[in-house]
Amino acid sequence: MPHPVKKQCCKTMVLFLILWLGAALPVTGTTSQPGSVAPKDFPVYEAIKPNVAFWIKIFSQYDRSRGVIHDSLHLDRIFDVIDLDPALTVAAAKKNKRIKDAAFNRHKAVLLDLAGGKTPSGSLEKKVAALFSPDVDPVEYKHAAFRLRCQTGIADQFKAGLIRSGAVIDEFRRIFRSHGLPEDLVYLPCVESSFDFNAYSKFGAAGIWQFTRGTGKQFMEIGYVVDQRRDPYISTDAAARLLKRNYAELNTWPLAITAYNHGLAGMKRARQARGTYEKIFLHYTSRSFKFASRNFYPEFVAARQVAKNYQQYFGDLQFDTPLNYTRFTTKGFLCAQSFTRGVDMDIQDFHTLNPSLRSPVFKDQKYIPKGFEIRLPPSIALHHARDIAFGLYQTKQKPSRFHVVAKGDTAGAIARTHNVSLNDLIMANGLSRQAVIFIGQNLRIPVREQPNIPPAAILADQTVTENPVPDTRQPGPQTIIKKIAKSAQVKQPVSLPEPAASQLPVVQAIGSPGPAQPVSGEVAALPATADNRVNPLVDTSNLKIQKIVDDNNARVGIIQVEAEETLGHYADWLNIPTSRMRSLNRLAFGTSISISQTIKIPLTAADPDRFEEKRFEFHREIEEDFFDSFMVSAVETYEIQPGDTIWSLCLKQLEIPFWLLKKYNPKTDFSAMHPGQTLNYPVVAGKRGDVLL
């Protein structure tokens, strides 16, 4: 039935405004039902429109061959668009840095001349001056000179991410609906990772939702064996819960989404200081509320606009399709290599279907843990997979044993001390053929497997059926989709049932630590920085408990704080409250610990080895994940400037984690840095296989 003309005109205007603001939303109603999107959910405030327009261009118009030189505060003030080398190589990255630096210097010089009162005469000066109002205060030119920024286009990356999203987006929508949240939040990974399932940042954020370890552990299992941030479905459920919590605390989606980047506590402080989102965007400043946090919500709005209207920007796309799989839950610890051989499955395909399993599982250093939900292609009969698993179960996880290399040690002597073959020691630590080792290096000691003895309790449980119906959810890479036949698509919720208890043989470590006896002709351990060279793959962290003492009739260990460690980590490894750590060390709440500080830890008779094992795995996890995604392409020097702190250096100037910087400056006291002091630092390049990013 036709509407009256007046109402029709109003609706036409509303529809026009909605489309113009980049939101294909229903025009009726003002509140959201579970999973729906109301017009007020993601408002486009007048203040953020220039930023939204800027990011739409970055996501859809400019690819990695273009760089946009702009004002970091006023994103609509674009000074130039420069040509870059799009090749994914270190050489291209160095070339692009020179191109960007030249563009910065050129425009900075013009802006400073204008700030000094020079009348625009040349074409570039006139072009720059035209970006400011005619009555601009000259000091604004000076401020703009120090706000220059280059944003590389990511239209090609954004488009590829949209294609990848087809494999998971429907399930993501179901997850957000199940939490009563707006479905359009599924577009947040367009900003975070472009739906790159292997995404990993220099500072340790992982997966398509880019959870940091600290935030992720509130919602997921994150450890040396399993990192659920890598699983697209589990991490999406975690993201939904985090966003739901943010919204419950902040009451608006612009604030809740910004808190995803800036943190809930930080956004509460911002709201207390300024009130509304728009006032925060316009006026709020803090030590941590910088460009990324300020632009996070505008980026989401822009990404949502482009993703929902992809045909307008990219034409027709052939999206990846969901893959069916079946699943069962392990009832013991399981060797991945033995299991995949048993079910005749390529181990890389297995890893793709089970992305939360970390690399030690596939290097045979750790088992698939008990209670883990294994995903398999429907072409593998579930009863056959269970039969194979039952014959391979172990009762204990492989321990992580390590040896700290001392002066005079050789690889052969260490292997003999721990009753392992030299070849196994070399393979476990990625040593050269000459088995070169370094003083202070933490060497992993291989562990021998025990015979597989399936217990009666497990065998009796074979008749239990777990998730026999194929499931549509999967990690998404198209290479696997082409290999595995699909079956009927039936959606099921994620289920992680508790496995039955069992009595299985313990996996024992081989030998016991003792003095390594070198043999004549073997090469002794070298200094960690021999010839001033640094091997970033060598871990020389001081991970051992230095001594154990009695403190008021209690057994206490003394350790030295290493990079990335917190009191919370120690408490977690000891399974005690952090408050107990603070009390033992007489540290007030909120007091931070520093590198090389001496800390006491409470111990029981069984604690020392377990604590050292957890500590070793923590540092190996950080370094293994980093070097799986990045490599050191060069080493340069940096001179400390007034106002520099170690954190500003790592985050802004050098863009590397502190633990890596510390490797290249082992004798530096970072608590006593001074202007003029020089630091060595690695230039880091990303990698995908043999391709550098």
Each residue's pLDDT tens digit, 167-190: 999 999 999 999 999 999 999 999
Q: What is the pLDDT of residues 191-204, one digit of tens each?
A: 999 999 999 999 99
Cα separation of 559 and 572, whole Å? 15
On whether the CB atoms of residues 241 and 220 are closer than 8 A, the answer is: no
Residue 569 tokens read as: 């980590």
Domain boundary among 468, 499, 532: 532
Rounded CA separation 271/250 (Å): 8
**Claim to verify: residue 518 and residue 602 sit in the same structural domain:** no
Provide the Cα torsion 410, 411, 416, 422; round to 10°. -150
Same domain (yes/no): 553, 603: yes
pLDDT score, position 519: 59
Predicted local distance difference test score (pLDDT) of residue 112: 97
The whole-number pLDDT of residue 479 equals 39
Closest CA to 376 of 368, 385, 366, 367: 385
Identify whether residues 420 and 374 lie together within a single domain: no
Residues 514 and 442 occupy one common structural domain: yes
Q: Which of the listed residues 152, 183, 202 is the one where a domain comes to its end?
A: 152
Residue 470 located in a structural domain? yes
Domain with 585, as residue range(s), is 547-608
Cα 28 vs. chain centroid, distance in angstroms?
Answer: 39
pLDDT of the residue at 458: 52
Q: How confident is the model at residue 515 (pLDDT cuts 50, 70, 90)?
A: low
Instruction: Locate 670 and state its tokens.
Output: 């970072």
Please check whether residue 601 lies inside any domain of the structure: yes
Answer whether residue 475 is part of any domain.
yes
Of 555, 587, 608, the residue that ends a domain is 608
Shared-domain flag, residues 527 and 583: no
Please determine, for residue 36, whether its predicted confidence score (pLDDT) is greater than 80.
no
Residue 669 φ/ψ, nearest 5 degrees? -90, 100
Do 415 and 519 share a domain, yes or no?
A: yes
Q: Are residues 526 and 573 in the same domain?
A: no
What is the per-residue pLDDT across 344-359, written as a single tens digit (0 to 9) for each? 999 999 999 999 999 9
pLDDT above 50 (res 631)? yes
Residue with structure tokens 């991410």?
161
What is the rounded distance in angstroms from the CA atom of residue 676 to the CA atom of residue 681?
15
Domain count, the chain: 5
Find where tokens 């036709």 sit: 2
Summarised one tens digit per residue, pLDDT across range 243-257 is 999 999 999 999 999
pLDDT of residue 24: 37
Please state whether 29 falls in left (phi above 0), alpha (psi between -120 and 50) or beta.
left
282 in a structural domain: no
Report phi then psi at 683, rounded to 5.
-90, 120
CATH number of 584's domain: 3.10.350.10
CA angle 597, 603, 607 (to 5 degrees): 110
Q: Are residues 79 and 111 in the same domain?
A: yes
- Is 422 domain-assigned? yes
Pair 145, 31 in one domain: no
Is residue 536 scored above 90 in pLDDT?
no
Looking at the fold, whether 38 and 135 belong to one and the same domain comes out as: no
Beta bridge partners of 677: none
Q: What is the pLDDT of residue 473?
A: 40
> Torsions phi, psi of 206, nearest 5?
-130, 150
Supply the mean pLDDT for the chain.
Answer: 85
232 contacts 476 by C-beta, under 8 angstroms = yes
For residue 308, the model assigns a pLDDT of: 97
The C-alpha angle with vertex 136 and arms to 135 and 142, in degrees rounded to 5, equals 155
Same domain assignment for residues 441 and 460: no
Residue 31 tokens, joined? 């509140």
**Count of CA atoms in the C-beta half-sphere (13 A) of 533:** 7
Mean pLDDT within 56-69: 97
Helix 155-165 × helix 49-60 angle, to 10°: 80
Half-sphere exposure of 142 (CA within 13 A, CB side): 7
Question: How far apart, in Å, are the Cα atoms of 536 and each of 602, 632, 637, 682?
Answer: 32, 8, 16, 9
Q: Is residue 90 part of a domain?
A: yes
Block residue for tokens 């014959």: 391
User: Does 68 score more than 50 pLDDT?
Assistant: yes
Of 27-41, 103-117, 149-163, where does mean pLDDT reach its minimum? 27-41
Percentage of the chain modeled with pLDDT above 70: 82
Rounded distance, CA 450 to CA 394, Å?
A: 8
Higher pLDDT, 483 or 603: 603
pLDDT of residue 516: 57
Distance CA 194, CA 188 (A): 9
pLDDT of 37 > 70? The answer is no
Residue 525 has a pLDDT of 86
